[in-house]
Structure 1
Amino acid sequence: MSSTTYTDAVVDRATRHRDGPRLLLSVDLHVLHEVSSPQAFTMLADRALPVRDPSRSVGIPDHVVSTVPRRTGSDDPRAQRMLDVFSTNLARTGIEEIPLDSADHGIVHVSVSESGRVLPGQVVVCGDSHTTTLGALGALAWGIGTSEVAHVLATQAVWTPVQPVVGLRVTGTPGPGAGAKDVVLRVCGELSPRWGVGRRIEWSGPYIDGTSMAERFTLCNMAAELGARSALIPPDETTWEYLAQRLTPERLAGARAATEELTRAVTAAPVAATVDVDGLAPQVSWGTNLSHVADVDGRVPTSVPDDQRRAFEAALAYAGLAPGQELSSVEVQHAFVGSCTNGRIEDLRAAAAVVAGHRVAPSVRAVVVPGSRRVAQQAQEEGIRDVLVGAGFLWREPGCSSCVAINGDTIPRGERCVSSSNRNFEGRQGAGAITHLASPATVAASAITGRLAHPGEVTR
């Protein structure tokens, strides 16, 4: 394969072997958590196989951990057993664990990006579909299954199909109150959740060029909702400024030199789609997949193409909505700010800017879960925590929390949560729970009003 795009160049550098339509790539960093790794360690133990290179793996508990204040693990005996097994497996195989009380602890994708473990040009895998988040740093990163986790542990390599690299170009300037989460919701809604299947995405365009690292993490995180194998933004000065705060000068210089060598002859990925977000309003999901997206001050669609009608009607029935209904009329009982999508300090700042001087509606249970201990500490130092707690938000410890209903932070059946997380599948936040995805600012505004609301309603 001749290197044409940045992604191709990374693939070429990492390729150990080609077998027809498959490539065997060396893995620079393997991130593990407690849910997708136990069976993988058992597979190795059953075959008496050692971990090939423990120094290139790191384990971080995040999915089933309790987020209640001063937690030490989980109140659920089954979840605690998973955490104990995870720690035992890591200690037995010599893999570093980032424990709950470590300054480095957080949701896996947040923790490894903040701590400088991920660099441009690396191949990074984890048993979690939102590993695409790390593509914001110019890494080739994607989620793998449990059997693949075992293979990487044993070989420090991963099989992957040969796939085309496509450009996803974004143009325009979003309107007041809208940011990266709104942009990626609109992209998913316009292109469909299967647009990226069988592809590797490179984000590009004037909008992308002007984004911050926090915005890039959000965009790459939710590229998983397009079905893409991986998604990244080739490194630029924004990337290096972020890494300069996390690497020694010597390591930074080495990473830059390696990247410059890697990218010497690359060209932009051929653009497969362009989405214009000029004047974009804050977005919200109304149904049960990421094609079900609309302006938060808009309405539920009244019609869809015939081939989508059955899914449309099923989504309306599950969400308890009617065609043409104003979304601003939809009352919510829960508001969640957090997750690997929107649990960074910039996200908490955005929520605090909306709620300052207001109170959460009495009918709403509002929760903030920082993406990491670093985020929590910075929020404390900046007074952001005080603003959010003062407005009536509950403050929790870092973890996946209400993004996924396996840790006690679940939404009751039939109740609605406006959430800054990444998936609105049926039952994603609890059996029978209804999820409306939105930005942290929109979540905050909805928490104050008690219904889906444009941030401008609160801040104007």
Structure 2
Amino acid sequence: MGKTLVEKIWDAHVVKSQEGFPDILYIDTHLIHEVTSPQAFDGLRKRGLPVLRPQQTVATADHNVPTLNQHLPIQEELSRYQVDMLTKNTSEFGIELYGLGHPYQGIVHVIGPELGITQPGKTMVCGDSHTSTHGAFGAIAFGIGTSQVEQVFATQCLLLQKPKTMKIEVNGELAKGVGAKDIILYIISKISAAGGTGYFVEYAGSAIRSLSMEGRMTICNMSIEMGARGGLIAPDQTTFDYIHGREFAPKGEEWDQALAYWKTLYSDKDVTFDAVLEFDAADIEPMITYGTNPGMGVGVTQNIPAMTTLPASEQPSFKKSLDYMGFQDNEPVLNKPVDYVFIGSCTNSRIEDLREVAAFVQGKQKAEGVEVWIVPGSKQVEAQAKEEGIDKVFQDAGFLLREPGCSACLGMNEDKIPAGKYCVSTSNRNFEGRQGPNARTMLVSPLTAAAAAVSGKVVDVRSMI
């Protein structure tokens, strides 16, 4: 009997397995940031323990950092305290920190791949739910809680139940103007925000294979938004080409050895998944969310669902969500007004995203009354954007290119959307208050966000290409 990709990687990392007990799973790489690590470091201090393998831990500041004037002291007291504590803790415990001002600083799920730290066959964790991003490389990557952060610090292992496996296939060709973000929003809209609960998802099919590594990261990033433990894609030549030559990628003979192993990382043909879902790429159009969870999404040309089409048990929460958003059931999302456009987050802040937006807005102007924030995922992305003249394109269009950080993805720093305002966002969550108290969020792809920025309303980007 063959094995799934998840099973191959999992079984290779099990330190001990015993009937009726969780597995002891070895963790190759531990990523940390300023929000979920302080209590874990305090736990080590109280027990007089070191970080067992600090060389396998990578730290950066991202959630609480400002995205303007990063050379100045952080204004928000709590944000400043958390970033300062990360600096203190990493120094005390001997961990590499890519803090503010460092050329490698950025969103934790952006810097791992771009530095070559993220590699096929690894187990990777972080105190952040969107750690599933790294699964795009054929790795088992998932978010953990603060108590588990402490466990990894102390032992480089975790106690875990082996997850169920699900395969999601997307076959066929994507239409012009439809990208990776639309694929994952479409899948979540079809299976709901809880449809992947209990599973580790492997994405497959010709439409997935056709994506760049940056597109694949977008897909795996939002696996958590369907309730899954994580998501991954079997590595192939696209993966190997992306990793080759990066700062911390294997070199020389080590590269040859790594590559030989990476080429064995795929699900065997005779394997049985616990669940299998199939979708046709031709059915996917530019997507947008209308509610307060990522499963509440439709194609931009479609109407918000009618209340009467839902089970009676779901209608109260559905109405509550629409009331929060100021929408009505069975009405179109096209032409909804837009106040803010946010292009960034660990979902869509890579250089490919910025290039796509810049190519679309070249020679255009943002709509009057719309504020547009472009937040690169890392200092390297920011530098590359400036080197390619992308910053000038944004400036001419009236867009503001800020400095790297999580920014308006979450209301945890200075970049908040004002109450009652509508933000078309390339981030991953549209929960109530996610982008600021009473902010209203509509999740979209970078291309759809760019179209909204120049139109001042929700539009079908296909009509503008």
TM-score, reference length from structure 1: 0.96
* Cα shift at 1:408: 0.7
SS at match of 1:124: strand
For residues 301-351 of structure 1, the C-alpha deviation after alignment (integer angstroms, 9 at most, x for no partner) is 223321321221111101001122221221010000011100011111111
- Asked if the contact 2:70–2:101 (Cα under 8 Å) also holds between the matched residues in 1, the reply is no
SS at match of 2:373: strand
Query: How far, CA to CA, are the matches of 2:398 and 2:48 in structure 1?
Result: 53
Query: How far, CA to CA, are the matches of 1:376 and 1:265 in structure 2?
Result: 40
- Structural mapping, 1:203-352, within 5 Å: 203-246=203-246, 247=249, 248-260=251-263, 270=273, 272-303=276-307, 304-306=309-311, 307-352=313-358
Name the aligned partner's letter for residue 391 of structure 1: A
Query: How far, CA to CA, are the matches of 2:276 and 2:464 in structure 1?
Result: 38
For residues 264-292 of structure 1, the C-alpha deviation after alignment (integer angstroms, 9 at most, x for no partner) is 96756635111222152111001111221
- Asked if the contact 2:70–2:100 (Cα under 8 Å) also holds between the matched residues in 1, the reply is no
Query: Structure 1 stretches of 5 or more lacking a match?
Result: none
Query: How far, CA to CA, are the matches of 1:441 and 1:284 in structure 2?
Result: 12
Tell me the residue number matched to 1:11. Answer: 10
* Alpha-carbon spacing, 1:322–1:46, altered in 2? closer, same or farther (3 Å): same
Does residue 122 of structure 2 align to residue 118 of structure 1? no
Tell me the residue number matched to 1:418. Answer: 424
* Cα shift at 1:254: 2.6
Tell me the residue number matched to 2:391. Answer: 385
Query: How far, CA to CA, are the matches of 2:384 and 2:6 in structure 1?
Result: 34
- Asked if the contact 1:120–1:139 (Cα under 8 Å) also holds between the matched residues in 2, the reply is yes
Query: How far, CA to CA, are the matches of 2:403 and 2:201 in structure 1?
Result: 33
SS at match of 1:329: coil
Name the aligned partner's letter for residue 376 of structure 2: P
- Asked if the contact 1:243–1:252 (Cα under 8 Å) also holds between the matched residues in 2, the reply is no
Tell me the residue number matched to 1:144. Answer: 144
- Asked if the contact 1:6–1:267 (Cα under 8 Å) also holds between the matched residues in 2, the reply is no
Query: How far, CA to CA, are the matches of 2:6 and 2:44 in structure 1?
Result: 31
Name the aligned partner's letter for residue 364 of structure 1: V
TM-score, reference length from structure 2: 0.95
SS at match of 2:166: strand
- Asked if the contact 1:5–1:267 (Cα under 8 Å) also holds between the matched residues in 2, the reply is no
* Cα shift at 1:457: 3.9
Query: How far, CA to CA, are the matches of 1:445 and 1:329 in structure 2?
Result: 11
- Asked if the contact 2:235–2:266 (Cα under 8 Å) also holds between the matched residues in 1, the reply is no
- Asked if the contact 1:336–1:443 (Cα under 8 Å) also holds between the matched residues in 2, the reply is yes
* Alpha-carbon spacing, 1:266–1:96, altered in 2? closer, same or farther (3 Å): farther
Tell me the residue number matched to 1:44. Answer: 44
Tell me the residue number matched to 2:134. Answer: 134
Considering only aligned residues, what root-mean-square deviation do their CA atoms show, in Å? Answer: 1.6
* Alpha-carbon spacing, 1:269–1:123, altered in 2? closer, same or farther (3 Å): farther
- Asked if the contact 2:71–2:101 (Cα under 8 Å) also holds between the matched residues in 1, the reply is no
Name the aligned partner's letter for residue 353 of structure 1: A
Tell me the residue number matched to 2:97. Answer: 97
SS at match of 2:334: helix
Query: How far, CA to CA, are the matches of 1:454 and 1:74 in structure 2?
Result: 39
- Asked if the contact 1:37–1:146 (Cα under 8 Å) also holds between the matched residues in 2, the reply is yes
Q: 2:452 aligns with which of 439, 442, 446?
A: 446
* Alpha-carbon spacing, 1:269–1:134, altered in 2? closer, same or farther (3 Å): farther
Query: How far, CA to CA, are the matches of 1:362 and 1:262 in structure 2?
Result: 50
* Cα shift at 1:455: 1.7
* Cα shift at 1:418: 0.2
* Alpha-carbon spacing, 1:267–1:90, altered in 2? closer, same or farther (3 Å): farther
Task: List structure 1 segments (4+ residues) > 6 angstroms apart after TM superposition.
Answer: none
For residues 105-150 of structure 1, the C-alpha deviation after alignment (integer angstroms, 9 at most, x for no partner) is 1100100110011111010000000000000011100000000000
Identical-residue share of aligned pairs (%): 40
* Cα shift at 1:159: 1.7
**Relative to structure 2, which stretch is displaced further, 278-287 or 337-346?**
278-287
Does residue 410 of structure 2 align to residue 404 of structure 1? yes
Tell me the residue number matched to 2:365. Answer: 359
* Cα shift at 1:21: 4.6
**Relative to structure 2, which stretch is displaced further, 325-334 or 295-304?**
295-304
* Cα shift at 1:228: 0.9
* Alpha-carbon spacing, 1:430–1:377, altered in 2? closer, same or farther (3 Å): same
- Structural mapping, 1:146-185, within 5 Å: 146-185=146-185
**Relative to structure 2, which stretch is displaced further, 74-83 or 213-222?**
74-83
Name the aligned partner's letter for residue 65 of structure 1: V
- Asked if the contact 1:445–1:457 (Cα under 8 Å) also holds between the matched residues in 2, the reply is no
